[in-house]
Chains A and B, each alone.
Chain A
């Protein structure tokens, strides 16, 4: 299988006034298509920064970020937006559904932005995904009428509706209780296996990361190492919350 994400010696620094805060200090990693990868590490370890770079919502200070074979540094803002729309799906920690749109419309939204499918095809596609996340009966509901887990399922459906090669999930279970969180991870895992979509998710929950094919341990802006997909594998001390 080919590489979907390739990161080479990436440094990311934030400027807070005159102070330069290093978030990533030379990270290199490679993700292959179809992997189900967890990025683990404590808060402030650079998980979100790394996901932002992979998700093309941010650019590296130095180093090279390649997504789906394209060097994100060479792309324009517009091209990066298109890359996000067509290649990457996002699942957020706090779901980030559009409150004024229905469940159906939230899922349909990326398809509308793409503007490729006709209304009927869109409907079929959206309903199929809602079916897969088990919410086809809630299509007309507003996000506010749903529970946290249901909302995150809608977010999962939205992330997958354009059939992206890569789905990024930033702490997808952090705002959910553990059972519901488990549900979401199961759903993601199922979709990964069924569709071959690459998933990269960040978490500091050991139970969650145990589902991953591989875990990249991140601490203090550096990759500590990649561990194998062993359930109950010992977690490096640094990665503990």
Chain B
């Protein structure tokens, strides 16, 4: 064993040295990078965001919606309430444990959905609006440094940890080397097929009294469907409100009451 290792090191060593002088991240640095991404977006108190989603599909009218996203990250609570257009009013999603429930006030029914639920039939997923839990859900590996437009980025590959239910088992990230923000994200199915490409051109930060630091959130996400190539989704976080929410807000009853 030992001799094999030595041999490999002797043979491979010069190759490593010959590789371009990249600022390769050590495993510790990599871990830190991912944790920073999560930490920046974490909100210790309650969190409420007004979002706009626009779905474009070939030969179809644009589908636009506004919704309010409610988060209480400490309890892993998440809820969506659609507010516009009128036909969507009062519809919503509520996450409880591993269950994502969707509600339609027209029929007064709750349905259990999965992690892969297309929010409102768009290319966006629950995870696009929720707190970032990359370090908990995925194992990261470093792939190198490259250019993305005018930016220098780290390219990372994340694979889902065993036993954790995520929408996509493999995620590729392009992280701005200077600011540590995700600029591009690709998600792949287990088969290796590329499913979505998302861009994060605008990151906003907001000071939180309870966190005593900034909370970061992507003000704009552009998602391109890689299966139905003509479909794309734009998510805009129009404003974020960090006031505390009602205690019983993350319940079916609360969402039901909004349309009664």
Contact between A and B in the complex (any CB pair below 8 Å): no
